[in-house]
Chains A and B, each alone.
Chain A
């Protein structure tokens, strides 16, 4: 072990002790941000169970919009690869979806293993057509609020009266063989997302339609899935009663801080280095990537998953868990190591008491 590593270990031990000191005093700790890999999320849930903490993730729209919509109404979705390869009509619902398509170019290839797909058609609701889509035979933009447009299209597809008749758009929807709606949960509330899903379901009465979402930031999808199989439910979750309770409102990080309920923040920021504004109003332990300029009571530098250490992360390219080998192995501890270390120190403290 190098002198540097020894020094880091000593530093970690000291930081862990200070973190334990803060945790021992806390009535309701809050673990938030949660930008970390699978092992980090698992460790956070264990620590939360150990301390009665609440757990929230920074991807609020994913939780309160998309996953709320799933729990309220269900959904029809597909994988990004199926959307890219099979989709012959891409319905871009709003500016966020357009920007994501532009920036990550998921439809930039005209290639497909399904040689019967042919060229794509684009229908853009409340946004301009993204330029990164290949093999576009036709493109239509309809200006307006995407929610209004979805409502009007749903009425037209259902044969109900509507103030506006989008004749060519409706024809495109009816002609598609595998249409894909793209939404950004940040552009809609859960009811808006439900509306889009209701239209997708209606369209399936006569042809095939499905949807994809702009991925949640900071491994948000993965964090919620890990929570679902570990606690039975997605985030947000609280352990104050000794078992997990899922509640979007009660365990919202912002609300817990604003209402003065949480009295300690553990910011898990391996993938979200910037502390939220609310961190200024309560004691904070910040786990942040090396070099991040965090202001907090305890700052612990952690490795970035998939860069400084091997990690399992949901892969935005194929929206499933993927094992990512470290590209630049370094000695910073992982989030899981730090959180498990804190839990172990708490246990040791209890035994010594």
Chain B
């Protein structure tokens, strides 16, 4: 089947300058053009519209045990009140997987990565991901805090053993990459520690955070994982953390490393130890390190909930819980902390957090390496992305926000002096090509021949918020899934994952470890095809 997307202004910086040109799709894949004399079977006239590849989110908490715990904790934050659209059950059910898929798709996002796939509870994450309609998904396997890994490190079992351990869990949990959370911190928290820095030792294991990160950088390289090690660094939200980030960048020694939600680390200290923007300090470390990528974790105002496996941070954050209730779960390795928060325009710390995020975007010299996230829902909902894009593309829009900041916050950030506006091309890199590259998804994020035909078409409105909230047309694999800002029905994408080679001896070794630890066979932790393929065949409301 040949599809023509006709007359749009194509913003695809990977494949050349922005220009009005036609795009051709054959059977869901971009092609250079039709065969001679061939007529398209389907034509979408997008004259005057902005056309980009479907957007990709590298870090959004959309599925898994902790996300569902937040659903259980905060029913009052997501009361449903609109009837579902015909043929789209649960599409208005707030905080449901169905609403998540619909809202992302309607903004023109076509691939979203859940960053915390816990190996001992991988199946729940995959069940939830499979229930997120329309978009493609993937997840990052969480490693580095479990007893088996830390014991290998303590007992100096060597680089190959650590690689094989990581490969086992990556394969068994069906991850697309690996992530470590406050390396060693959650393990230390189980043993009673309440703070954890780069060179602190995990009690009973003698391993430091630095050693864990270094070992995982080696493992990622040795396995050949396309996505760099995804790091939730130490000292999240601690003033002075930019020094930790600089130290961690140095520890990477040029190897690829991705820092998640860097805004939450960009807090400097003034002479009295008070919080000020540390964005410039972060950018200094970042600018000179081409091996480093980051996502921002922008804060936006409103009530939300923080979902994190960083038990140390969530324990200390519990005192800020609003409403005043929280969950802390000691998991088999990390666990989870669920702390509701309300970011308020009248709170100077929250204002400063917002401004710091903006600074990071605007001071970043490289949209390929500084990516758009809110660490959904930790800094705010992913539904605020259009507003963030607006603020980045329009300095007048930003000025209004900056001028509304209280003096106390404005003095602590350089945001007011920044004039930069993001171009469409920079935006396309930051939200499409950059995320695709960092995730190793070479067939998306751009519209060149061979790319998957995941395409977002927008009206070129001065109100960028409105523009990016409601895509005029979204194609997923060449098929229309959104028109005029509304999802057309339920289709189901795929969950991308890697299948790394595993070592049979390590598989046996971990198998007997799991049996001893849990009293069940390792197959109890597996993620079989059956649950998801059963879904395909069961009669639900697919379009």
The chain A residues found within 8 Å of chain B, CB to CB, are: 38-39, 42-43, 45-46, 49-50, 67, 70-79, 81-82, 85-86, 109, 111, 113-114, 116, 177-178, 204, 207-208, 210, 224-226, 228-234, 241-246, 310, 312, 315, 317-318, 320-323, 336-337, 340, 343-344
A312 and B127 contact, CB distance less than 8 A: yes
Given the interface pairs A74-B327, A116-B204, A243-B83, the reply to whether A317 lies near B72 with Cβ below 8 Å is: no
Residues of B within 8 Å of A230, CB to CB, are 90, 93, 96-98, 131
**Chain B residues in 8 Å Cβ range of A232:** 71, 78, 80, 93-96, 99
Residues of B within 8 A of A82 (CB): 190, 330-332
A-B contact pairs, 20 of them (CB 8 A): A38-B531, A39-B535, A42-B131, A71-B75, A74-B326, A74-B328, A85-B517, A86-B190, A113-B513, A114-B147, A177-B192, A229-B96, A229-B97, A229-B128, A242-B83, A244-B90, A320-B123, A320-B124, A321-B127, A340-B540
> For residue B329, which residues in chain A have a CB less than 8 angstroms away from its CB?
76-78
Q: Are B331 and A317 in contact (CB under 8 A)?
A: no
- Beyond A71-B75, A76-B329, is A49–B192 a contact (Cβ under 8 Å)? no
- A242–B325 Cα distance when bound, in Å, is 30
Number of A-B contacts (CB under 8 A): 189
Residues in B neighbouring A224, C-beta threshold 8 A: 72
Closest residue to A314 on the B side, CB-wise?
Answer: B124
Is B518 interfacial (CB-CB < 8 Å)? Answer: yes
A82 to chain B, nearest CB (A): 5
Q: Cβ of B65: which chain A residues have Cβ within 8 Å of it?
A: 320
Given contacts A208-B192, A244-B80, A320-B121, contact A340 B528 (CB under 8 A): no
Tell me whether B92 is interfacial, beta carbon within 8 Å: yes
Q: In the bound complex, how far is the Cα of B524 from the Cα of A317, in angstroms?
A: 10
User: Contacts of A38 on B, CB cut-off 8 Å?
Assistant: 127, 531
**B335 interfacial contact with A, CB 8 Å:** yes
6 closest Cβ pairs, A-B complex: A242-B83, A74-B325, A78-B330, A232-B95, A228-B71, A49-B89
Most chain B beta-carbon neighbours within 10 Å: one of A72, A79, A86: A79
B68 within 8 A of A: yes
Smallest distance from the beta carbon of B303 to chain A beta carbons, Å? 15
A340 x B539 contact (CB < 8 A)? yes
Q: Is the CB of A241 within 8 A of B98?
A: no
Q: Are B75 and A233 touching (Cβ within 8 A)?
A: yes
Contact in complex: B325, A49 (CB < 8 Å): no
Interface string of B320-360 (1 = CB under 8 A from A): 01000111111110010010000000000000000000000
How far is it, in angstroms, between the C-alpha of A82 and the C-alpha of B334 when the chains are bound? 11
* Assembly CA distance A33 to B120 (angstroms): 28
- B151 lies within 8 A of chain A by Cβ: yes
Give the residue name and chain of the B residue nearest to A207 (CB): B192
Not counting A42-B540, A45-B90, A78-B330, a sample of 14 additional A-B residue pairs whose C-beta atoms are within 8 angstroms of each other reads A42-B538, A49-B84, A71-B72, A72-B325, A82-B330, A113-B516, A113-B517, A232-B80, A233-B80, A243-B84, A244-B96, A310-B530, A317-B524, A340-B539
- Contact partner of B539 (CB less than 8 A), chosen from A207, A229, A344, is A344
Report the minimum CB–CB distance from B47 to chain A (whole Å): 37
Complex CA gap A173/B393 in Å reads 57
Instruction: Tell me the bound Cα distance from A2 to B322 in angstroms.
Output: 61
Which residues from A are CB-within-8-Å of B271?
none
B190 near A242 with CB under 8 A, answer no
Which of B204, B513, B517 neighbours the largest number of chain A CB atoms within 10 Å of its CB? B517
Contacts of B417 in A (CB 8 A): none
For B321, the chain A residues whose CB sits under 8 A away are 74
Distance in angstroms from B130 CB to nearest chain A CB is 10
A201 to chain B minimum Cβ distance, whole angstroms, is: 9
In the complex, chain B residues whose CB is within 8 Å of the CB of A76 = 327-330
| Chain B residue nearest in CB terms to A177 | B192
| A228-B89 contact in complex given A75-B327, A79-B331, A243-B83, C-beta closer than 8 Å | no
Q: Bound state CA distance, A232 and B516, in angstroms?
A: 36
CB-contacts of B87-124 with A (<8 A): 89-90, 92-99, 120-121, 123-124
Instruction: Tell me how far the C-beta of B122 lies from the nearest C-beta in chain A, rounded to whole angstroms.
Output: 9
Give the distance in Å from the alpha carbon of A72 to the alpha carbon of B321 in the complex.
13
Checking B73, B93, B147, B541 against A70 with a beta-carbon cut-off of 8 angstroms, the contacting residue is: B73
A residues near B328, Cβ cutoff 8 Å? 74-77, 210
Q: Does B407 contact A (CB under 8 A)?
A: no
**How far, in whole Å, are A338 and B118 apart by their CA atoms in the complex?**
33
- Residue with the highest number of chain B CB atoms closer than 10 Å, among A74, A208, A317: A74
**A233, B82: Cα distance in complex, Å:** 15
B499 part of interface (Cβ distance < 8 Å): no
In the complex, chain B residues 485-543 whose Cβ is within 8 Å of any chain A Cβ: 513, 516-520, 523-528, 530-531, 534-535, 538-541
Of all chain B residues, which has the CB nearest A310?
Answer: B530
Q: Which residue of B lies closest to A81 (CB)?
A: B518
Complex Cα gap A178–B69 (Å): 22
Given A113-B147, A113-B517, A74–B73 Cβ distance below 8 Å?
A: yes
Q: Which of B83, B97, B332 contacts A81 (CB 8 A)?
A: B332
Q: Taking A38-B531, A208-B192, A246-B75 as contacts, is the C-beta distance between A225 and B124 under 8 angstroms?
A: yes
Report how far A234 CA is from B68 CA in the complex, Å: 9
Query: Taking the complex as formed, is B15 at the interface, i.e. its CB lies under 8 A from any CB of chain A?
Result: no
B171 adjacent to chain A (CB < 8 Å): no
Nearest CB of B to A230, in Å: 6
B52 contacts the other chain (CB 8 A): no
Chain A neighbourhood of B296, CB < 8 A: none
Check B98–A343 contact: CB distance below 8 A. no
- How long is the Cα–Cα vector from A71 to B190 in the complex, in angstroms? 24
Whether A229 touches B68, Cβ cut-off 8 Å, given contacts A312-B531, A317-B519, is yes
Give Cα A3 to B304, complex, Å.
58
B191 CB–A CB distance under 8 Å: yes
Check if B540 sits within 8 Å of A178, measured CB to CB. no
CA distance A71 to B75 in the complex (A): 7
B92 to chain A, nearest CB (A): 5
Q: How far is the CB of A347 from chain B (nearest CB, A)?
A: 9
Instruction: Give the nearest-CB partner of B80 in chain A.
Output: A243
Residues of B within 8 A of A242 (CB): 83-84
Query: Per-position contact with A for B50-88: 1 when CB-CB < 8 Å, else 0?
Result: 000000000000010101110111110010111110000
Q: Are B68 and A225 in contact (CB under 8 A)?
A: yes
CB distance from A309 to the nearest CB of B (A): 10
For B74, give the chain A residue with the smallest CB separation.
A71
CB-CB under 8 A from B89, the residues of chain A are 46, 49-50
Q: Is the CB of B90 within 8 A of A111?
A: no
Most B CB contacts (10 A, CB to CB) among A210, A243, A246 go to A243
Among A50, A208, A323, A337, contact of B123 (Cβ-Cβ < 8 Å) = A323
